[in-house]
Amino acid sequence: MTQSRREIRAAQLAAEKRKRRAGKRPHPGPEPTDDGDALEFRAGGGGSDEDGGRTGWKRWAIPTLKWGSLAGFALFVLAIVGVWVAYARTSVPAPNDFVGRQVSIIYYSDGKTEIDRIVQDEGNRQMVDLAKVPDAVQKAHLAAEDRTFYVNNGISVGGILRAVKTSITGEAQVGGSTITQQYVKNYFLSQDRTLERKAKEILIAVKIDGEKSKDEILGDYLNTIYYGRGAYGIQTAAQAYFGKSVEKLTVAEGAVLASVLNAPSLYDPAEGEKAAANLERRYTYVLDGMVEEGWLSPAERAKYTEVPEIKEYKGPRLSRGTSGYITAEVKKELVRIGLTDQDVAKGGLRIVTTIDRKAQSNAVKAMAKNLPKGVQGGLVAIKPGDGAVIAMYGGSDYSKRQLSNATQAIMQGGSNFKPFTALAAVREGISTKTKFDGNTPKEFDGYPHPVNNYDDRDYGKVDMRTMIGRSINTAFVELNEEIGPDKTRRAAIDAGIPEKTPGLKNDLGNVLGTSSPRVIDMASAYSTIAAQGIRSTPYVIARVTSADGSYSYTAEPSTQRAFAKEVTADVTDAMTYTTKPGGSATRIGREFDRPVASKTGTSEENLSKWFSGFVPQMAVSVGTYKPTKDGKSSLSLSDEESVAPDGSTIPANIWLDFMMPTFEGVEVLPFPKRAGLGDEDVPTTTRTTTEAPEPDEPTTTTTAPPTTTTTPPPPTTTEPTKTPPGKTDPPPTTEEPTVTITVPLPDETTTTTTKPGNGNG
């Protein structure tokens, strides 16, 4: 039969194709042949397509793979088999015993002596049927934590990958687990963050998802999750936050509970205004999510513009006395290092702090001895170059007042800020021997008011050492003008004052301490100078272990160089003039027989009083203020409330009474030798009779021709208590920083009243 042209051409192409295949084969037999889109395997031998069929032959195809890829595919198959075997062997463990959970114990740095115990209310959990939880409240929790709950298989791949990353890197935990995973972790497993625990969580979550209905899982979750305030489960949470049974919760109240459970210490408004602001944002996120998922109409959503009223919370049990403030700080740090609020609430933790037992006892005694009635004070002692908090006094009784004077209350810094200007100047190459005009009053371009020294005292030309020792306002503002106030602000931040400190601006008056830091901020900043320019992050937890051995943590100091050691050496030398004859804290120089670098501090109208200083081994800051009855502002400290009968200031006496017994028998270490940066640029001049002597210089000098002249009488040897009327430094700007606050916050306070600062003392 005659073949058509098309058939002939097809036969030729088939022959050419067979030849190409034959040329690629190194030996006969069943070999794979690449037909482009599929990988063919021919089983057996003999026969061909041209023989008219594949009698006895089988042919199949799989996705195209190179030989190297086959090995990867085999490993993938083995991994799948391994997971399947692990899944088959995994059994759902017995749940953790909530009723019999252990307390967590907080120890001093010796690891033996207890400071306090973290105890939740026993049995504070009530079971409730899911049917009693309003549908809108259920949906609020899904909108907050797991919007695909009813369609997923119990796990989140993205969340798993993030968890693996944090387990490897040690970074802080991030969200992303499904409701089923959270339920498994909190109800069945321990607090450890290992990959092994995460693998168990995944397998158990998938298994539970296959064995239980979604409603059963959601009901178990809502009955076991921790909402803060010692409340386990939604029924107890409804009572704790709104004083009502769960079935009476509104949509808005359900959205609040769904928001809070993510991290109660960050979202419960009882933790302060920052937490309240966090709650508002997450509350909006939850309600908007309900609209996106079709669980709430836009019209209904529009009704809930504000967070509903929440019950006042009086705090957990057994957080009393001075140790309660340490316990509160430990709880916050446990969350910062990666544990959840529920991990902490489960208990069984053994927490060794950095707090030294002897030093803490001395801090409490010093405060009790010196702090007048009605005056609040805070003390923080930090190990330079490390950041470990050695002692911390936040108040007399945490159960009565939860605002920590050490870590939350803010006070105008006053003259405690002057060393930051000195740091900035020396960093710019200005010698601490450079002299500035210390006469009063003085006016400066761009500054709206004259600057005065205490008691209208004229000092003539003085260098930075005398300026710090005698706290001379006019000379420091002149120095600040020369270097630029932005340099002072930058130096304060580099030393350890938080960038968002209320009132911390680039204005000329920032050298006088118009911003309002916390005591722990000031102690941290001074510790940077003590550590020869090494800034460290303060911390209170040294190590943590769980009673069952499933979790462990050891702190690693976080440090970085902020200033050259030559810069801090010169500033440290200048700060020693505060306690030398003629300085503003001479009692310390007389009674504490070791080198001390320090600075006094008084704010406008005597609204706050400071003393901050250091020895090579420890930096300590003390701040005092007098809050109004409602706690929303601060009152002026009277002479009796700020100055002791012997003329020394209250904060300086607290500092001294803390340091002397703490350093009894401790080696006396010297400060680094002054480097003398910029000394070569200081002009050599002869002192005139209009100049005040430096603190360590004699009170008489001679000039040519030789005549003896008497210098002006030295200023008081104690820090001034209150700037006389009409002799204060006016506010540098119309915006004035805050002095104190009303409610406690996790890390900072909020603005309540404004007062200008003068930096006297």
More confident residue, 203 or 53: 203
Angle made by CA atoms 760, 537, 667, in degrees to the nearest 5: 75
Lowest-pLDDT choice from 46-50, 159-163, 536-540: 46-50
Quote the CA–CA distance of 54 and 58 in Å, as a whole number: 8
Q: What is the pLDDT of residue 14?
A: 57
* Proportion of the chain above pLDDT 70, given as a percent: 70
Model confidence band, residue 352 (pLDDT cutoffs 50, 70, 90): very high
Quote the CA–CA distance of 702 and 708 in Å, as a whole number: 5
- The H or E element that residue 676 is part of is none
Q: String of b and e for 519-530 (b: at least 16 CB within 10 Å)?
A: bbbbbbbbbbbb
More confident residue, 202 or 528: 528
Which candidate, 665, 668, 535, 538, places its Cα nearest to that of 596?
668
Quote the CA–CA distance of 368 and 378 in Å, as a whole number: 12
Q: What is the pLDDT of residue 265?
A: 87
Is the predicted pLDDT of residue 675 greater than 60, yes or no? yes
Lowest-pLDDT choice from 37-41, 261-265, 562-566, 662-666: 37-41
* Average pLDDT, integer, range 443-472: 92
What angle, rounded to 10 degrees, do the helices at 234-242 and 214-224 form? 50
Is the predicted pLDDT of residue 20 greater than 90, yes or no? no
Is the predicted pLDDT of residue 74 greater than 90, yes or no? no
Quote the CA–CA distance of 309 and 635 in Å, as a whole number: 31
**What does pLDDT average to over the chain?**
79
Quote the CA–CA distance of 519 and 587 in Å, as a whole number: 22
Which candidate, 560, 281, 241, 608, places its Cα nearest to that of 416?
608
Contact between 577 and 599 (Cβ < 8 Å): no
Q: What is the pLDDT of residue 208?
A: 82
Contact between 593 and 714 (Cβ < 8 Å): no
Lowest-pLDDT choice from 195-199, 200-204, 630-634: 195-199
Model confidence band, residue 77 (pLDDT cutoffs 50, 70, 90): low
Give the gyration radius of the chain's Cα atoms: 36
Is the predicted pLDDT of residue 200 greater than 80, yes or no? no
| Selection from 25-34, 360-369, 392-401 with the highest mean pLDDT | 360-369
Lowest-pLDDT choice from 299-313, 624-638, 678-692: 678-692
Quote the CA–CA distance of 35 and 58 in Å, as a whole number: 16
Is the predicted pLDDT of residue 173 greater than 70, yes or no? no
Decide: helix, strand or coil at residue 748.
coil
* Proportion of the chain above pLDDT 90, given as a percent: 54
Known catalytic residue: 415? yes
Q: Is 294 exposed, middle or buried (0-12, 13-18, 19+ CB in 10 A)?
A: exposed
Helix/strand number for the chain, H first, E second: 24, 20
From the list 104, 109, 145, 431, the catalytic residue is: 145
- The H or E element that residue 671 is part of is none
* Average pLDDT, integer, range 275-282: 96
Q: What is the pLDDT of residue 272?
A: 85
Q: What is the pLDDT of residue 588?
A: 96
Model confidence band, residue 32 (pLDDT cutoffs 50, 70, 90): very low
Contact between 392 and 330 (Cβ < 8 Å): no
Contact between 30 and 43 (Cβ < 8 Å): yes
Hey, what amino acid is at 742?
T
Residues 683-718 pLDDT 10s: 864 333 334 444 433 333 333 333 333 333 333 333
More confident residue, 54 or 521: 521
Is the predicted pLDDT of residue 25 greater than 50, yes or no? no
From the list 415, 515, 524, 634, the catalytic residue is: 415
Lowest-pLDDT choice from 470-479, 601-610, 633-642: 633-642
Beta-strand ranges (E) seen in 604-660 are: 608-615, 618-627, 634-635
More confident residue, 484 or 727: 484
Lowest-pLDDT choice from 40-49, 182-191, 579-588: 40-49
Is the predicted pLDDT of residue 49 greater than 50, yes or no? no
Model confidence band, residue 158 (pLDDT cutoffs 50, 70, 90): low
Is the predicted pLDDT of residue 754 greater than 60, yes or no? no
Model confidence band, residue 633 (pLDDT cutoffs 50, 70, 90): confident
Q: What is the pLDDT of residue 229?
A: 87
Q: What is the pLDDT of residue 123?
A: 45
More confident residue, 5 or 618: 618
Is the predicted pLDDT of residue 679 greater than 90, yes or no? yes
Model confidence band, residue 320 (pLDDT cutoffs 50, 70, 90): confident
Residue 75: CB atoms within 10 Å: 10
Q: String of b and e for 385-405 (b: at least 16 CB within 10 Å)?
A: bbbbbbbbbbbbebeebbbbb
Model confidence band, residue 317 (pLDDT cutoffs 50, 70, 90): low
Residue 17: CB atoms within 10 Å: 12
Is the predicted pLDDT of residue 128 greater than 60, yes or no? yes
Q: What is the pLDDT of residue 188?
A: 60
Q: DSSP labels for 688-700? A: PTTSPPPTTS-SE
Lowest-pLDDT choice from 52-56, 128-132, 528-532: 52-56
More confident residue, 262 or 548: 262
* Average pLDDT, integer, range 44-61: 36
Q: What is the pLDDT of residue 407?
A: 97
Is the predicted pLDDT of residue 117 greater than 60, yes or no? yes
Quote the CA–CA distance of 139 and 254 in Å, as a whole number: 9
More confident residue, 9 or 382: 382
| Selection from 229-243, 362-376, 715-729 with the highest mean pLDDT | 362-376
Is the predicted pLDDT of residue 214 greater than 80, yes or no? yes
Is the predicted pLDDT of residue 450 greater than 60, yes or no? yes
Known catalytic residue: 145? yes
Q: What is the pLDDT of residue 157?
A: 67
Model confidence band, residue 549 (pLDDT cutoffs 50, 70, 90): confident
Lowest-pLDDT choice from 43-57, 243-257, 450-464, 641-655: 43-57
Residue 578: CB atoms within 10 Å: 30
53 to each of 58, 59, 138, 257, 585, how far by Cα in Å? Answer: 11, 12, 65, 72, 108
- Structure-token match 């969340």, residue found: 159
Contact between 477 and 513 (Cβ < 8 Å): no
347 to each of 82, 230, 475, how far by Cα in Å? Answer: 35, 12, 56
Q: What is the pLDDT of residue 70?
A: 61
Residues 577-630 pLDDT 10s: 999 999 999 999 999 999 999 999 988 788 899 999 999 999 999 999 998 877
Q: What is the pLDDT of residue 69?
A: 61
* Average pLDDT, integer, range 507-532: 96
735 to each of 166, 498, 504, 514, 691, how far by Cα in Å? Answer: 43, 19, 11, 10, 36
More confident residue, 27 or 563: 563
